[in-house]
Amino acid sequence: MRLASVRHPTAGAVWGAVEGDALIPLSAEWADIRAALASDPHAIRSAAAAESARLALDGCEWLPPIPSPGKILCVGLNYKKHVAEAQRELPQHPSLFPRFADSFVGHGAAVTRPWVSGKFDFEGELAVVIGRDGRHIPRERALGHVAGYTCLAENSVRDFQKHNAQVTPGKNFAGSGAMGPWLVTADEIPDPAALSLRTYLNGERVQDGRLADLIFPVPELIAYISIFTPLAPGDVIATGTPEGVGSSRKPPLFMRAGDVLEVDIPGVGRLRNPVVDEPRADDGEHRP
């Protein structure tokens, strides 16, 4: 089952199950996907089967599947070849940093290249959405806490990322990342390690990875993260990006206005976003 959040031209912000080119609205049952997962995720399929209404997706604005997650935790350097291209040592533990909800847009929306930087880099990733809360979750039971999976363009503003040892500034520019188009429920993906991931910039493949190559697989990430923080329904874990990022290329390849970025994970979806420039602060329109 595919679950999505959209802004409909007349119905406003709604969420529901995607069926072909239509949305089965479920907002009358639960306010959002996060609330549904926290309530009774098994009831979502039953509610969708019983709902007769359909909303055409044509003309809708796609939102991130979980518009307001409680936590977004991202993993850095989680593919061996990406560690090598970054000229770093293999990590002994997952390298984690937070992202804010307003740093992500939905499928089809423009991701924004900040005017303060010319080093806006692409990063395709698989994101895990938590479905059951837990703390100190054993690795062998971790996948039982997963609601589903979605595509994520994590992206980085490289110079701000490297201002100091903390990467948070370069990872949280407003609207710099994207998530979607939808969440595919975990019952359709029994083993995330079997997935593959490709990133395309203007139709050219720039990243090609397999989730089996993760240094810290999904169950290990959930187990580790839940040691220090409780995980709750709707929390998002970005699993890391494979090799091929623009900053490691010679010459470097960074995104510019007019580019189109796509993250394709067969079985999960294809996330597509154009790139636009942020208006300069001296235009009087916007300040970072």
pLDDT tens-digit readout, 202-226: 999 999 999 999 999 999 999 999 9
Please check whether residue 273 is in contact with residue 105, taking contact to mean a CB–CB distance below 8 angstroms: yes
Per-domain residue ranges of the chain: 2-63, 72-283
pLDDT in tens, 22-63: 999 999 999 999 999 988 778 999 999 999 999 999 999 999
CATH topology of domain 72-283: Fumarylacetoacetate hydrolase; domain 2 (3.90.850)
Model pLDDT for residues 253-286, shown as the tens digit of each residue: 999 999 999 999 999 999 999 999 999 877 554 4
- What is residue 83's predicted lDDT score, i.e. its pLDDT? 84
CB atoms within 10 A of CB 20: 7
Which pLDDT score, from 0 to 100, does residue 222 have? 98
Entry pTM: 0.94
> Residue 283's pLDDT is what?
55
CA 64 vs CA 124, 126, 136: distances in Å: 15, 14, 28
Q: Where are the alpha helices (DSSP H) in the chain?
A: 33-39, 42-50, 80-85, 158-161, 168-171, 218-228
The mean pLDDT value for 230-239 works out to 98
List, for residues 150-176, the tens digit of each pLDDT value: 999 999 999 999 898 889 999 999 999
pLDDT tier at 97 (50, 70, 90 boundaries)?
very high
What was the pLDDT predicted at 81? 86
Residue 288 reports pLDDT greater than 50: no
